[in-house]
Amino acid sequence: MLRTNKLNAAVIGSGFGGLAAAIRLQARGIQTTVLEKRDKAGGRAYVFEDSGFRFDAGPTVITAPECIDELFSLCNRKREDYVEFLPVSPFYRLCWENGDSFDYVNDEDQLLEQIKGFNPADVEGYKEFFKYSEAVYEAGYQELVHVPFLSFWDMVRVAPELIKLKAYRSVYKTVASFIKNEKLRQAFSFHSLLIGGNPFSASSIYTLIHALERKGGVYFAKGGTHALVQALSNLFEEMGGRLILNAEVEEIVTEQSRVIGVKTAGGEFTPYDMVVSNADVTHTYTNLLRSTKEVQGVARRLLGKRYSQALFVVYFGTDRVYPSVAHHSILFCNRYKSLLDDIFSKGVLPEENSFYLHAPCRTDSTLAPEGCDAFYVLANVPNLAKAPLDWSVVGPRYADWILDYLSRTYLPDVKRHIVTQRTFSPMDFKTELNAHLGTAFSLEPTLLQSAYFRAHNKEERLRGLYFVGAGTHPGAGVPGVINSAKATAGVILSELRDVPEFALEPAYV
């Protein structure tokens, strides 16, 4: 039975998806509590503060700012009053080992000029690719990203559009059908890796990221991504929400096919009318719902799904500045398809790898002490099912190897200038974030694991249980999980509209 006083909700986890869902529910008068396992909010967007350096742990590329702004306007506030977004240019610098580089910028003329430098014939191909990416963006992002796919018919309705856009082709194959030069193919296909998809198997729907970046821009939150986490946490608390840190949920308690509350570490039970899980979706089904018989089949099916890659990240601060390194660099090695095969299929930890290098001081110098520079470098690596490595042994060696490589190439002599260093391995993703198989992005975004085929935003077998975050529709990435919150909150609020005793407070706009 629902209680007759004010409704209350628990959100398990304070990732961007959890915070966005909590803000949406609180703004409609549902008394919402966020229960976060760790000592800081943000989930993958955690922050490490070492010796005067501030290292954002995860997301650094802010796109689709309007979905973030909407959370503030829902509460009759302005995002600009809480956190500033600084434009980043180039969006990314792409570098190859032979010294070639490509500044991926938003200025059309500069972009075309650079494409011409790689292969004049690809200028027209790129223009066609951009038109395709815009069409996918309109159909896949504008129309569907915040829509919950709860029934198979929701999928059937969009199938003709997906077929028309050839969504069954991979990202790489689609890019290659427009662009011939291999380096340019890499430049316009690597994006799906940022949300856990191998460009050779992720659906071409994810080429929409290119249009999304070009239309909305690429930003960095002043003070680092965690400043955005803080802004959302403040907004939530100002609206009357409760954020409780160091509060790991041990179990979602159910009775007669409905959720009645949660048990936190130590066994304390708190009743809630509804629970929204932002924790890893597989962790939620296999651990938090381990005693609920209604969902054991779902848990088993989830275990058989394909999971994204893992990441190994090295955060380091230097006692000198490297001014020529761009804010975001992708450092390609000489292998692309075979490298991704090693990581996604064969479970080989590559001896030669490609990297993403983050140098936030190019946009915001306050993230390191004066005269110093802050960095992180990340490598895609196999998840713990593909390669069950002991990262406590492998990690330090791999970090050393990566820093040697950077010392020889893009950050001359960097090893001698490092004053602080830490790593985050697939094992840390598992133990710190409860990420199934230590993945960075949950389920792999293949066509058969997208939309209706991804974990649903609502659990049909248990009343009062909902999901938000990377494992649900539409998937990983900051805009993805913030839109998943819109889909999930939409389902909850439309269900409550049918319960007369719960007059929801009007949204602020």
3-class SS string, 134-171: HHHHHHHHHCCCCCCCCCHHHHHHHHHHHHHCCCCCEH
Q: Which is nearer to ligand FAD, 44 or 327 (CB)?
A: 44
Q: Which is nearer to ligand FAD, 36 or 364 (CB)?
A: 36
Q: What b-and-e string marks burial along 132-156, b requiring 16 or more CB atoms within 10 Å of the CB?
A: bbbbbbebbbeebbbbbbbeeeeee
Q: Which is nearer to ligand FAD, 15 or 261 (CB)?
A: 15
Q: Which is nearer to ligand FAD, 35 or 184 (CB)?
A: 35
Q: Which is nearer to ligand FAD, 125 or 469 (CB)?
A: 469
CB 20, CB 229: distance < 8 Å = no
Shortest separation between residue 410's beta carbon and ligand FAD, angstroms: 19
**What angle, rounded to 10 degrees, do the helices at 122-136 and 208-216 form?**
90
Q: Which is nearer to ligand FAD, 115 or 262 (CB)?
A: 262
**What angle, rounded to 10 degrees, do the helices at 171-178 and 122-136 form?**
140
Decide: residue 82, CB within 10 A, 0-12 exposed, 13-18 middle, 19+ buried: middle
Tell me how far apart the alpha carbons of residues 464 and 367 are, in angstroms, rounded to a whole number: 42
Q: Which is nearer to ligand FAD, 16 or 149 (CB)?
A: 16
Shortest separation between residue 350's beta carbon and ligand FAD, angstroms: 18
Shortest separation between residue 46's beta carbon and ligand FAD, angstroms: 7
Tell me how far apart the alpha carbons of residues 364 and 111 are, in angstroms, rounded to a whole number: 25
Q: Is the dihedral of CA 7, 8, 12, 14 positive or negative?
A: positive
Residue nearest to ligand FAD (CB): 15
Q: Is the dihedral of CA 53, 220, 454, 382 positive or negative?
A: negative
Shortest separation between residue 124's beta carbon and ligand FAD, angstroms: 30
Q: Which is nearer to ligand FAD, 36 or 70 (CB)?
A: 36
Shortest separation between residue 387's beta carbon and ligand FAD, angstroms: 18
Q: What b-and-e string marks burial along 309-319, b requiring 16 or more CB atoms within 10 Å of the CB?
A: bbbbbbbbbbe
CA quadruple 378, 45, 170, 113: dihedral, nearest 10 = -70
Q: What is the token pair recorded at 69?
A: 């702004």
Shortest separation between residue 498's beta carbon and ligand FAD, angstroms: 28
**Parallel/antiparallel/unpaired status of strands 92-95 and 53-56:** unpaired
Shortest separation between residue 184's beta carbon and ligand FAD, angstroms: 22
Q: Which is nearer to ligand FAD, 176 or 325 (CB)?
A: 325
Short-list 143, 145, 142, CA closest to 476: 145
Q: Which is nearer to ligand FAD, 59 or 125 (CB)?
A: 59
In the complex, the residues that contact ligand FAD under the rule CB under 6 A are 12-18, 35-38, 43-45, 58-61, 194, 248-249, 278-279, 283, 311, 313, 378, 433-434, 440-441, 469-470, 476-478, 481
CB 316, CB 403: distance < 8 Å = yes
Strands (E), 169-282: 219-221, 242-244, 249-255, 258-264, 269-271, 274-277
Q: Which is nearer to ligand FAD, 208 or 249 (CB)?
A: 249
Q: Which is nearer to ligand FAD, 176 or 253 (CB)?
A: 253
The residue count for the chain: 509
Shortest separation between residue 303's beta carbon and ligand FAD, angstroms: 17
Q: What is the token pair recorded at 195?
A: 């949300």
Shortest separation between residue 163's beta carbon and ligand FAD, angstroms: 28
Shortest separation between residue 395's beta carbon and ligand FAD, angstroms: 15
Give SS3 for 410: coil
Shortest separation between residue 501's beta carbon and ligand FAD, angstroms: 30
Q: Which residue has the tokens 């296909």?
A: 189
Shortest separation between residue 96's beta carbon and ligand FAD, angstroms: 21
CA quadruple 396, 402, 408, 411: dihedral, nearest 10 = -100
